[in-house]
Amino acid sequence: MNSKKFFVVSLKPFLLRLASGILILAAATFLFTKVLPTSIETAAIKNDWGLSYSQNGSQPVGNRSREMLSQYNAYYLGPPEEKVLYLTFDAGFEAGYTPKILETLKKHQVPATFFLVGNYLNTQPDLVKQMVADGHIVGNHTNNHPDMSKISDLESFRKELTDLETKYKEITGQEMKKFYRPPQGKFNEENLKQAQSLGYKTIFWSLAYADWLQDKQPSREEAFSKLLPRVHNGAVVLLHSTSKTNSKILDELLTKWKELGYRFGTLEELCK
């Protein structure tokens, strides 16, 4: 056999093995760069509260079951058979819209819970007093709004809640009702145990939309496209009182929900 031809023939198996190795390496590289970051991301968000919706108008499913949450006096939904809504607002600061929101709630005789942080109590004591005078609940959103899932010891967890309790009592002369919402919905099972040991009920939500960005407020149409089709029996509604859109649409929104046959309950009713 010609030596050049022999060399080419002998080289073919080597080239095939080499090509195969390159393909395997490329596939492994793809999996490492694509799959691994996804795994890391999944691990990173495992302590975030999350919901999945099967269809509009039906109760969503949380990434923790109602049964698991109930062990720790934690809630995100009311009764599936009852047309009742539980309205809540989160606020870390005052953007100038709360007075109008309070006025609208009074007009509709709708009770709400305002989950507030230390900065809000420090800077807006008069609005806090008005919330209480109007019959609303002021809930504990922690003193400093940290990622509570990173707090492992009970004393640090306790301090975030009790520091806010102290400020609230100084302003209102009353004890704060024991309703707690984890900042940004970040939590772990130990946090649920810690809150329960302090006598708190942890309150998540089952209906919300992206209303918190000050420089990117949703339009009326965008807000209604989320808040009307997805409303459901027993919904714990989360809105931000820092939202200009919410202050503008709340009157119409409450009217529409009432027209759909919903009434408004309190967290005390939810957690009884």
Q: Dihedrals φ, ψ of 67, to 5°?
A: -65, -45
Q: How far apart are CA 64 and CA 85, in angstroms?
A: 21
Residue in 136, 141, 232, 240 annotated catalytic? 240
* 240 belongs to the catalytic site: yes
Q: How far apart are CA 146 and CA 142, in angstroms?
A: 8
H or E stretch covering 179: strand 179-180
CA angle at 195 for the pair 193 and 198, rounded to the nearest 5°: 110
Which residues does residue 201 pair with via DSSP β-bridges, in sequence order? 179
* 215 belongs to the catalytic site: no
**How many other C-beta atoms are found inside a 10 Å radius of the C-beta of residue 165?**
17
Residue in 90, 136, 211, 232 annotated catalytic? 90
Which burial class, exposed, middle or buried, applies to 166 when counting CB atoms under 10 A from its CB (0-12, 13-18, 19+)?
middle
3-state DSSP assignment of residue 88: strand
Q: Dihedrals φ, ψ of 181, to 5°?
A: -120, 125
Catalytic site positions:
90, 240
